[in-house]
Structure 1
């Protein structure tokens, strides 16, 4: 793996994102341009990121299962086993040398295309009964595999799936880790909803983001689905605008999970302001969404205050859900009474 670290930080409990490249289980590398860009950009936010290699290749050996390709299922499982070994590597380091200062509660797995298959199985496939029966699971080393760092947990805090799919939505179960998915709605390689993959081989039936995230919602699992309307497979790997969308989606999904501070809404009272709701996303690119408490009708006048204490908006709520355009959030006062500008980004 290649490990990217924030430069010059002194944080003792860093969050970690492990990323697996795409390539259909036959190609790709940890040094491909997209994994490098993805890991670099998130490292600049304070994450430790790791772009991993995993075992590639599979050989077709016959029609072992109807309408399915056993070797694709095997390749996905091996990718997950290798990603789980990476999770265990960092959890071992967190418990011993602490070279990377990782907080083991903040380990997130992610991937693009085939790498997303591996990330989904890392996060959700944890029982032998969830592995296709036509695979020799014993010969493959069991669900967790034997790729290294035994004795440590494979558990992750979240799963990021970029144009990914998996064997069945049922591997997502109550209490599982949160899920963030980005997927083109016209993906002809990995279906957005469900369908077969594999053009030259007997196809394998899989379920994409449009089926996995609703499954998570039905189970009460926190999740975000960002459909890229009309987009084909992994457009974010070649198009900067789509890459930005992935970055903003991942950033905004993870921040509440990591309990990072946001902009607070406070009632206007004679006593010191007490936060009663949070605005999101923060920082905001276009608009800030406000979710007010159930007693919002009793607020009267309220103030939106940034982290420096500046009032950036006077509010007279007319509804419990509000949306404020970012460009309209000019400070109306500061602690010292001088005009100021809203911080960018």
Structure 2
């Protein structure tokens, strides 16, 4: 998957990125509160950009599925980094569960309950992707180049979205549009229940984990030939969701021919976003190149250049 260099280097300064806050993309009843929840997103758009079709990214924040919002977990910094390179980015809020619904004890005694909560988040994320397609003409979105991504709990939901079958489309909004996605950007995510570990050894294996599979779910085997590419961005010293999990996903993806890449942040902890965004470190170009390659952006128009012309993406 050759990288399109103009989607790796920044075309716009941070001050040229336009941010539109609290755009309503849907609504749904939260089954835990019984109340209707308005679903909102913040949109990050490149500056002056006349391209007729732009790749898009939908981001899901972390927070253990019980907290957080679209402005947390450095989601704005990640969104701005992508918008500087010509992506249209939506950072979304989604329905949350109460802390009591996803405790350690519950995960061990009723592991399917956590999966149901993840499905609720997926329903909202699918509504957001459908909303991007509904707005494709107005926002000039390339509907064949949409990434789903997130960190921690958001990354888990994104991975389930892309690789685990059986989740309903839900009723969060924008029926009649496709919720298909084309690439995944998972920061500190997992598809197996191994979490909150006591130690990480020299081989980056986790030990003494409070959550283990079994009884917690392990759905790594659902990654299948023909699935979309995955970027697994992970800290080597993450004890909350250890890099063991990323290794398991990568090994499965390799076995079935799904393009994948593990961005291992040396000595990084849980959700090492700033390390991956730091232009002085060896990570930024790597993950941007993988995302661009996963969307085949060598065939796309570059972001509007400083010279004032549209370019064809260079390999």
Please name the residue that 1:222 is paired with.
Answer: 259
Question: Cα distance, 1:224 vs. partner?
Answer: 0.9
Please name the residue that 1:52 is paired with.
Answer: 92
Q: Number of residue pairs matched? A: 233
Give the 3 Å change call, closer, same or farther, for CA 65–49 of structure 1 in structure 2: closer
Distance 1:152 1:211 in 2: 33
| 1:99 and 2:138 correspond | yes
Distance 1:247 1:231 in 2: 14
Give the 3 Å change call, closer, same or farther, for CA 237–69 of structure 1 in structure 2: farther
Please name the residue that 1:168 is paired with.
Answer: 219
| 1:251 and 2:296 correspond | no
Question: Cα distance, 1:175 vs. partner?
Answer: 0.5
Question: Cα distance, 1:2 vs. partner?
Answer: 0.4
Question: Cα distance, 1:115 vs. partner?
Answer: 0.6
| 1:75 and 2:117 correspond | yes
CA RMSD of aligned residues (A): 2.7
Please name the residue that 1:148 is paired with.
Answer: 173
Partner SS, residue 101 of structure 2: coil
The runs of 5 or more residues in structure 2 that have no matched partner are 1-40, 192-217, 300-310
Please name the residue that 1:84 is paired with.
Answer: 126
Q: Which has the larger radius of gyration?
A: 1
| 1:27 and 2:67 correspond | yes
Give the 3 Å change call, closer, same or farther, for CA 149–259 of structure 1 in structure 2: same
Give the 3 Å change call, closer, same or farther, for CA 246–19 of structure 1 in structure 2: farther
Please name the residue that 1:117 is paired with.
Answer: 156
| 1:11 and 2:51 correspond | yes
TM-score (norm 2): 0.67
Distance 1:31 1:233 in 2: 18
Post-superposition Cα deviations, 1:158-197, rounded to whole Å, max 9, x if no partner, equal: 011100012411221111101111111221111222xxxx
Question: Cα distance, 1:108 vs. partner?
Answer: 0.5
Please name the residue that 2:77 is paired with.
Answer: 37
TM-score (norm 1): 0.61
Higher RCO (CA-CA < 8 Å; seq separation 6+) = 2
The runs of 5 or more residues in structure 1 that have no matched partner are 128-141, 194-207, 263-306, 308-345
Please name the residue that 1:136 is paired with.
Answer: none
Distance 1:33 1:26 in 2: 14
> Which structure shows the higher helix fraction?
2
Post-superposition Cα deviations, 1:297-325, rounded to whole Å, max 9, x if no partner, equal: xxxxxxxxxx9xxxxxxxxxxxxxxxxxx
Alpha carbons 2:107, 2:114 under 8 Å: kept:
no
Question: Cα distance, 1:248 vs. partner?
Answer: 2.6
Alpha carbons 2:102, 2:114 under 8 Å: kept:
no
